[in-house]
Amino acid sequence: MSGHSKWANIKHKKAKADSQKGQIFTKIGRELIVAAKVGGPDPANNFRLKLIVDKAKAANMPNENIQRAIQKGAGSGEGDSYEELRYEGYAPGGVAVMVNILTDNRNRTAGEMRHIFSKHGGNLGETGCVSWMFKEKGQLTVPREDLKLNEDDFMLLALEAGAEDLDTDEESFQVYTEPENTEAVRQALLDQGLPIEEAAINLIPESTIEIDDVNQAGKIIRLIDALEENDDVQGVYTNFELAESIAEQF
């Protein structure tokens, strides 16, 4: 996991830009409903819900929208209508793709996923075809801005806090840990006075494929964008990295 990650940096910037769009509220609202339904409405006792509430606030989702979604999940039974699914497949160039879904219509979503993969030169695969390439990890983003620590000092702090691994780019540190340790590591970093820009449970590839062809990279990114634009899609994870020689073009 360690190492400079051009695509991860670009994807993080894209996510911040996407948070300005109204569609993100729809997706986060579904996540809040399901998390409250599964683990209860109190973020203090429901870590999954706490992460999503933090995500909602980072996206500037109004507090009344957040509370309304939590109440729906906890009280109305609306969370029962959403089903959590995971699709697996390949982007152009054999790049592995994992897609996390929350849907109220499995058949509709299956058709839409097949169409998106096919339209953009990919292939929807069978369950298990690429999931073995990924591990579920807690991921915390710490912005470098105003952080008076060099990489070695930060790594020492992160490891003492319980982190397993660290990735860096020009703008942030990415801290990885076991999913069940995410909150403990998050709190330990906060106790050290470090800002946490984002905390999430993500699917992290165990190894990556470097893409150095601009046309192929464009096809892969267009497939990812099309998947992320679908209302049912909550997360898209891949195992490709952009080569330094073409990263600036994206």
Please give the full DSSP string across the chain, using - where no structure is assigned: --S--HHHHHHHHHHHHHTTSTHHHHHHHHHHHHHHHHH-S-GGG-HHHHHHHHHHHHTT--HHHHHHHHHIIIIISGGGG-EEEEEEEEEGGGEEEEEEEEES-HHHHHHHHHHHHHHTT-EE--TTSSGGGEEEEEEEEEE-TT----HHHHHHHHHHTT--EEEE-SSEEEEEE-GGGHHHHHHHHHHTT---SEEEEEEEESS-EEE--HHHHHHHHHHHHHHHTSTTEEEEEE-EEE-HHHHTT-
| pLDDT tens per residue across span 89-112 | 999 999 999 999 999 999 999 999
Query: For the chain, which residues make up each domain, given as ranges?
Result: 6-81, 83-132+208-247, 133-205
Instruction: Give strand pairing partners of 176.
Output: 139, 165
**Top CATH class, 133-205:** alpha beta
Tell me: the pLDDT tens digits for 119-170? 999 999 999 999 999 999 999 999 888 777 788 888 888 898 899 998 887 7
18 contacts 11 by C-beta, under 8 angstroms? no
| Residue percentage of the chain with pLDDT more than 90 | 61
Q: Tell me if the domain spanning 6-81 has CATH number 1.10.10.200.
A: yes
Q: Do domains 6-81 and 133-205 have the same CATH topology?
A: no
Give 12's pLDDT tier (boundaries 50, 70, 90).
Answer: low
pLDDT, mean over the chain: 87
Q: How much is the pLDDT for 3? A: 36
pLDDT band of residue 195 (cuts 50, 70, 90) is confident
213-242: average pLDDT: 93
Where is average pLDDT lowest: 83-87, 121-125, 126-130, 189-193? 189-193
pTM for the whole thing?
0.84
pLDDT above 70 as % of the chain: 89
Please name the CATH architecture into which domain 83-132+208-247 falls: 2-Layer Sandwich (3.30)
